[in-house]
Amino acid sequence: MTRKPTHLDAIVIGAGFAGIYMLHKLRNELGVRVRAFERGTGIGGTWHWNRYPGAAADVDSIVYRYSFDSDLLREWNWKNRYATQPEILAYLEHVVDRFELREDIQLDTTVESLTFDEDSNLWTARTDRGEEFTATYVVGALGPLSTPIFPDIEGRDSFAGTQVHTGAWPEGFDITGKKVGVIGTGSTGTQFVGAAARMTEHLTVFQRSAQYVVPAGDAPLSDEFIEDYRENHEQFWKQVFDSRVACGFQESETSAMEVSVEERERRFEESWEKGNGFHFMFGTFADIAFNPESNEAAASFIRSKIAEIVRDPETARKLMPTDFYAKRPICNTGYYETYNRDNVTLVSTKENPIVRITPTGVETEDGTRHDLDVLVFATGYEAMQGSYNRIDIRGRGGVTLKEHWGEAPSSYLGVATTGFPNLFTVFGPNSVFSNLPPALQTQVDWIAETIEAARRRGIATVEATAAAEEEWTAMCREMAEHSLFAQTDSWIFGSNIPGKKRRTLFYFGGIAAYREKLREIVAADYEGFTLDHEGSPTAA
Ligand code: NA7
């Protein structure tokens, strides 16, 4: 006997920052029948999976949270300027409990396929548990960075120790007293290095590209500050949403080339002392990410700090990046200082490549065998598209999302794709480049508002037009080309994956402009969308 699929109004995939809030909006505010599916054994998304030593948000904790609820803003206080992984997970657990969402989150369940039926305008979702659900709306809240990638290195399967990716760190896995190697020195790797060095017998860092890392400036939040935040949070969040990167500071409007050398150094020094990577890149001067001269000024300042901090000149040399300072800015505590420890070895794989992984460790071209108990991959993710490609998503005419995207994923506003009616993506390709929680919240609010409008107005399907998707994608591409980010290899352009076509995955216009654009589209009765009324073919 075949079981009838369970019908819901909406399905949310993922129970991280975005999925939790989406569930709250849909169920508690719109009153729709909705269920969230989460492949993890717990809620939290990124913060469930990334349990590696040192895992933390590297934007200020006061902006690494939701802002939609005044009471929640008042009652939850962070201890320090930066929130650690266990603290963020505890926060998300608190939110789930506070808004009574747990009963509508189905854990340990992977949605394997989503199929759109053009006659009924319903999506059918199939899970790895053999269940089937139909729904009018589907919201993908899969996380932009949730499909870990491993480098293709000979002998990887032969390693007799433990291999682990930072994005799938087993609960309770302890590296204390072990000989550990880590491949990758991005935001994750650099966080891991500082924490792991203090725990392990020996840490070998395999660095491909040297990174610009500025201090985080972590410190406890004072009682006065917390009180001020509680009282003035509305004003505070207004500034966040009126800014570009949504990190809680005002971006600079001055070119680094407009001021004297002394003034430039003074501002860099001040930011270095205060800490925070986004501040160093966007708060000191307006054009570090755009003007090669300004970029070099910032880059050489950081290189001079490396030379001051790292005692061994050869290690300092290896740690100094020579390319543009134009990847996602990184900050953490004591990164370069870590290389002064006796139990830390740096291997530059550009100068001395990894030849193979053996049962006992890693062998490099110079013939050294690095003996390891644990090999950690901090090698990043297939951003945006990776998580969607894992699901067999079929829209109109049976076309898959994977086919539709091909080598260069596109979207309209980061939230919708032509041919996939009533399917919304939170942080799909070409979403705004900014601190994530405010960006996710912006998109979730907009998706909820759109679903509410469609239900109220009897609109059967909301679908991005092909022209709007093309235009948005082309605009994002053009905007990105002005940035020096386009000239470095990183996940932001999908160029962290060998053989992948380089293309932007972001809208670089900032969160204020992005929010304005979303408002304009609603005001113009969903310009760029086809709103298909029940019974009448198309009304825009
Ligand atoms: P990232 O930023 O993609 O960093 C991955 C790191 O792994 C980076 O240092 C890479 O070097 C390195 N890598 C990747 N493949 C290899 C191979 N084959 N050999 C050596 N090294 C390699 O991922 P993260 O997890 O650090 O951060 C992702 C985002 O999460 C971050 O931006 C924040 O938004 C949070 P490369 O630089 O490519 O030479």
CA of 331 to the centre of ligand 1 (A): 14
Beta-carbon neighbour count of residue 60 at 10 Å?
25
Residue 79 CA to chain centroid, in angstroms?
23
Give the whole-angstrom CA distance, residue 65 versus residue 242.
Answer: 17
- Report the predicted TM-score, pTM, of the whole model to 2 decimal places: 0.96
CA of 184 to the centre of ligand 1 (A): 5
DSSP string, 195-227: HHHTTSSEEEEEESS---EEE----BPPHHHHH
Query: Which residue type, as a one-letter code, is found at position 290?
Result: F
> What pLDDT does residue 533 have?
82
Strand spans (E) along 426-476: 431-432, 459-464
Its CATH architecture, for the domain 6-147+382-532, is 3-Layer(bba) Sandwich (3.50)
On whether the CB atoms of residues 304 and 320 are closer than 8 A, the answer is: no
CA of 175 to the centre of ligand 1 (A): 21
Give the whole-angstrom CA distance, residue 63 versus residue 435.
Answer: 8
CA of 218 to the centre of ligand 1 (A): 23
CA of 190 to the centre of ligand 1 (A): 10
> What pLDDT does residue 3 have?
64
> What pLDDT does residue 497 have?
84
CA of 330 to the centre of ligand 1 (A): 12
On whether the CB atoms of residues 50 and 29 are closer than 8 A, the answer is: no
HSE at residue 467, side-chain half, CA atoms within 13 A, is 4
DSSP letter for 485, please: G
CA of 376 to the centre of ligand 1 (A): 12
Query: What is the token pair recorded at 26?
Result: 């849909």
Ligand 1 closest atom vs CA 349: 20
Give the whole-angstrom CA distance, residue 410 versus residue 385.
Answer: 9
The preferred substitution site among 52, 188, 349 for testing ligand 1, maximizing ligand atoms within 8 Å of CB, is 188
- Ligand 1 binding pocket includes 380 (Cβ within 6 Å): yes
List the pLDDT tens digit at each of the 540 positions of the chain: 456 779 999 999 999 999 999 999 999 999 999 999 999 999 999 999 999 999 999 999 999 999 999 999 999 999 999 999 999 999 999 999 999 999 999 999 999 999 999 999 999 999 999 999 999 999 999 999 999 999 999 999 999 999 999 999 999 999 999 999 999 999 999 999 999 999 999 999 999 999 999 999 999 999 999 999 999 999 999 999 999 999 999 999 999 999 999 999 999 999 999 999 999 999 999 999 999 999 999 999 999 999 999 999 999 999 999 999 999 999 999 999 999 999 999 999 999 999 999 999 999 999 999 999 999 999 999 998 899 999 999 999 999 999 999 988 999 999 999 999 999 999 999 999 999 999 999 999 999 999 999 999 999 999 999 999 999 999 999 999 999 999 998 999 888 888 788 888 999 999 999 999 999 999 999 999 999 987 444 433
- Ligand 1 binding pocket includes 491 (Cβ within 6 Å): yes
- Ligand 1 binding pocket includes 144 (Cβ within 6 Å): no
- Ligand 1 binding pocket includes 496 (Cβ within 6 Å): yes
Beta-carbon neighbour count of residue 417 at 10 Å?
26
CA of 103 to the centre of ligand 1 (A): 36
- Ligand 1 binding pocket includes 209 (Cβ within 6 Å): yes
**Could you tell me where in the chain the CATH 3.50.50.60 domains are found?**
6-147+382-532
Q: Considering only CA atoms, which of 387, 403, 414 is closest in space to residue 506?
A: 414
DSSP letter for 63, please: G
Give the whole-angstrom CA distance, residue 452 versus residue 454.
Answer: 5
Nearest CA to ligand 1 atom 28: 380
Give residue 264's region: left, alpha or beta (phi > 0; psi -120 to 50): alpha
- What ipTM was assigned to the predicted interfaces of this complex? 0.99
Nearest CA to ligand 1 atom 18: 151
